[in-house]
Amino acid sequence: MPLGAIIGPLVLCGFLVEEEESDLLKKIGVKDSKQLSPRRRSFLYQKLKKTGHAKIIKLSASDIDRLRTEQNLNKIEISHMQQIVNALKPDIVFVDSVESNTEKFCHKLLAKIDDKEKYEYGNNFICENRADVNYPVVGAASIIAKVVRDAEVSKLHKYGYFGSGYPSDPRTMEFLKKWLSEKGSMPSFARSSWIPAKQLKKDHEQKRLGEFA
């Protein structure tokens, strides 16, 4: 089952900072976004905008559904991570791996990096699980991505409050179930290709069949 939100965009971010500024990230309390309150993330987001340069990619729910007809989520993320590295052209790359085999993941990522000859796996091209915890610069990118996604999700609440937008949130699933019941299809801002969304649609169709039997 794909992990991640069922409602709203996927937001990827790369953060470029001069080496002499990297110590500042730790001093101001940059860490994995999940370890910070929304208020603290917002505060740090404003600080980070003045400290370095962010490259942000937003993929809407419909973008993800379309892309997943051709490739899985990991490949989608790798492709857009490559775009971010190619845009920022950092001297040292730290990446939060989306796969447990970090070496294999790193070589996949390197395959379509424009200046890959200047990078060496494990030296100046580092991929790790929980890199957002281990490296403040990756934590900074996670903070920016989280703040941007939360802002996008907040806009979608005009259609009704659905909580976090994750399948693990009962409010989210109840919102989608109600939407499906009233409108007959999933909202455009939901990832219809997600297994939980498919199950909701299957349950809805079976219920309708029962009503007309």
Q: Which pLDDT tens digit goes with each residue over 160-181?
A: 999 999 999 999 999 999 999 9
- The answer to whether the Cα torsion of 121, 105, 132, 55 is positive or negative is positive
Tell whether 139 and 179 lie within a shared domain. Answer: no
Residue 200: CATH number of its domain: 1.10.10.460
In this structure, is residue 2 part of a structural domain? no
Tell whether 40 and 136 lie within a shared domain. Answer: yes
Residue-wise pLDDT for 53-74, tens only, equals: 999 999 999 999 999 999 999 9
Tell whether 86 and 100 lie within a shared domain. Answer: yes
Position 51 scores a pLDDT of 93
Q: Is residue 151 pLDDT above 90, yes or no?
A: yes
Position 3 scores a pLDDT of 59
Tell whether 91 and 167 lie within a shared domain. Answer: no
DSSP β-ladder status, 125-128 and 93-96: parallel
Task: Report the mean per-residue pLDDT for the chain.
Answer: 93
Tell whether 140 and 163 lie within a shared domain. Answer: no
Residue 206's pLDDT band (boundaries 50, 70, 90)?
confident
- Inter-axis angle of helices 195-212 and 170-183, nearest 10: 40
Tell whether 170 and 119 lie within a shared domain. Answer: no
pTM of the shown model = 0.92
> pLDDT above 70 covers what percent of the chain?
96
Beta strands in 29-180 (DSSP E): 53-59, 93-96, 125-128
